[in-house]
Structure 1
Amino acid sequence: MRTNTCPADHKHGETPTCYRSHKCTCFDCKDANRIRCYEYKKLVAYGRPTGTLIDARPVQIHLGDLVMAGMTPAAIAAAAGIDLSTIRNIMNRRIPRKRSTPFRIYQATAEKLLSVTPDLTTVPDGHRVDSRGARRRLQALGLKGWAIQYLADRCDLDRHKLDRVLNSPRVFSSTNRAITALFEELWDKEPPTDTPIQRAVKTITMRRAQAEGWLPALAWDDMDLDDAPADASSEPVLVDEVAIELALRGEPVRLTLFERQIVIDRASDAGIYTSAIAPVLGITPRHIERLRAHAEAA
């Protein structure tokens, strides 16, 4: 029985989600569903295909990448604007063998799912995401002396909530966005040390970070996706000048950490934009700015 009416900001009549999943009873949803049923019956009567079906394998692979990046099926469904049961059906359906009939889905559904990017900052509120990015950002700030209590006050969050981020595998998307924004604001700044109490808090925080083995921000190429920090000790000292020149021309090549830093320095001298060199190096423009700031400080 339909007794629910969705909020006004939902896409009433534009998609079948409200009518089918939310059981919405507004006029727009019911009228749009009536039209869809009429068009479907007309196609069946004329013997025409009722929808464009494509192979679901690329979508299944993309969903796996989104889950590996830290998005839950519910978060993916919310970002794509489709029903959660559709996501679960696609993810749980096994990829068939070569001789069997391939699993197919509607092209419109595939386009919506493929448009979802593994960007945790775009996940709607109320959904949980992987906490490793938020945890690493808090640890990097703690290594610089930023106390958890001070960070909680800056981003208007409860102290205990930030403590749970350091120990929980998942965190709410709103908390992840707040920590990301706070990190972008404070990553290149030092905590206040005007009073003896502030200096003592900085010292205690840095000692805790060093004792627990927290890593700085530069230890990660991508704080949200990397499984392990880069091992600089295993990198060879030799420099491949050909690879560096190819990277400066915009061709993706395999570089060591030292060669990557050379490319960043030469790109700056040559006037090459950060946005142009970032895809070649496989890191974000913001991370390039952090590497440049670290090199200048050194």
Structure 2
Amino acid sequence: MPARLLPNHGTRARYSVHGCRCGECRTSHRVYEQNRSRQKAYGTWEPYVDAEPARQHVRELMSRGLGWRRVAALSRVARGTVNKLLYGSPKPSIRIRREVADRLLAVDYSTELVADGAFVDATGTWRRIRALVAIGWPKVHIARALGSHGQGLQLHEHLVLASTARRVAELYDTWWDADPTEHGVQLAQVGRARRYASARDWAPPMAWDDDALDDAEAQPHTATQRAISSAERREEIKHLASFGTSTTEIAKRVGLSADYVRGLLGDWTNPARDEAA
């Protein structure tokens, strides 16, 4: 059997169960006892609480790919306690200590916490891929960057491995503001990718807040962007350029291609070009 993880220093469990008497553990124990004495004096001492909220929270984490043993380790709660909370015989725990409930409820879901081989919701993965296509990255280039030797992305619509979700997130963080033509993508391929995404109403990176990509209920800001007129976009391009903003960054902010923005900036800085045309 694997060795049991010791509670961290500075916790009452390390003091009372494992007998540690370091300064941090003594302080934790002293604070706990002072708080307990105070609440007893006021008649508000309630060491145990309803176990159901913590149980439902752990089950929600498990449904998203975070195993209960991993939850136990992250919360610094004994595996036996979590096992009894979920599967106790003859029935799961009805009440648990307040500090145990607090630790379990404090564990927030993140794909970074899930084991590579676990399956996670694919919403954020597909949103990132589609956003990259929307700014000109062909799916075949994305597939190759992810290590696929085929011509397309062989991903399930609803679930993906946590390792895949992490690779896509890393790729997105690298490419979301990059110009595909500077990474070997032909201009014609960029155009095809953008048209493909536009026909399917896929939102570009600028339409998403970073913390919304993995939120299944979140929506992109495309409705607001479409309400911006061409004239307003042109004024915004001039405004951003006056501050020395890069062409790539301007294109990302206004939702236009970098080539188009370069063309506009060239026309404005070289009036003779317009006359020649």
Aligned length: 188
For 1:220 and 1:162, how far apart are their aligned partners in 2? Answer: 24
**1:216 aligned residue (200, 204, 227):** 204
Aligned to 2:174: 185
Letter in 2 for 1:59: A
- Please tell me whether residue 78 in structure 1 is matched to residue 67 in structure 2: no
Cα 1:159/1:233, change in 2 over 3 Å:
same
Aligned to 2:158: 169
Aligned to 1:207: 195
Letter in 2 for 1:177: R
Aligned to 1:142: 133
Aligned to 1:198: 186
For residue 225 of structure 1, report the CA deviation from its aligned partner. Answer: 0.8
For residue 210 of structure 1, report the CA deviation from its aligned partner. Answer: 1.8
For residue 292 of structure 1, report the CA deviation from its aligned partner. Answer: 12
**Native 8 Å contact 1:121 1:176 kept in 2:** no
**1:229 aligned residue (184, 201, 219):** 219
Aligned to 1:264: none
For 1:107 and 1:162, how far apart are their aligned partners in 2? Answer: 50
Structure 1 stretches of 5 or more lacking a match? 7-11, 17-34, 37-51, 95-101, 238-289
For 1:120 and 1:198, how far apart are their aligned partners in 2? Answer: 34
For 1:61 and 1:134, how far apart are their aligned partners in 2? Answer: 26
Report the TM-score when normalising by structure 1: 0.49
Alignment of 1:2-17 (within 5 A): 5-6=1-2, 12-14=3-5
Report the TM-score when normalising by structure 2: 0.52
For 2:160 and 2:50, how far apart are their aligned partners in 1? Answer: 34
For 2:134 and 2:50, how far apart are their aligned partners in 1? Answer: 48
**Native 8 Å contact 2:143 2:153 kept in 1:** no
For 1:296 and 1:72, how far apart are their aligned partners in 2? Answer: 35
Superposed CA RMSD in Å reads 4.3
Letter in 2 for 1:119: S
Q: Deviations over 1:120-170 (max 9, x none)?
A: 222222111111001100000011111222223334x225697233x5201
Cα 1:293/1:143, change in 2 over 3 Å:
closer
Radius of gyration: which is bigger? 2
Letter in 2 for 1:203: G
Structure 2 stretches of 5 or more lacking a match? 8-16, 19-46, 74-78, 228-248, 262-277
For residue 226 of structure 1, report the CA deviation from its aligned partner. Answer: 4.1
For 2:221 and 2:159, how far apart are their aligned partners in 1? Answer: 26
2:132 is paired with a residue whose SS is: helix
Aligned to 2:25: none
1:164 is paired with a residue whose SS is: coil
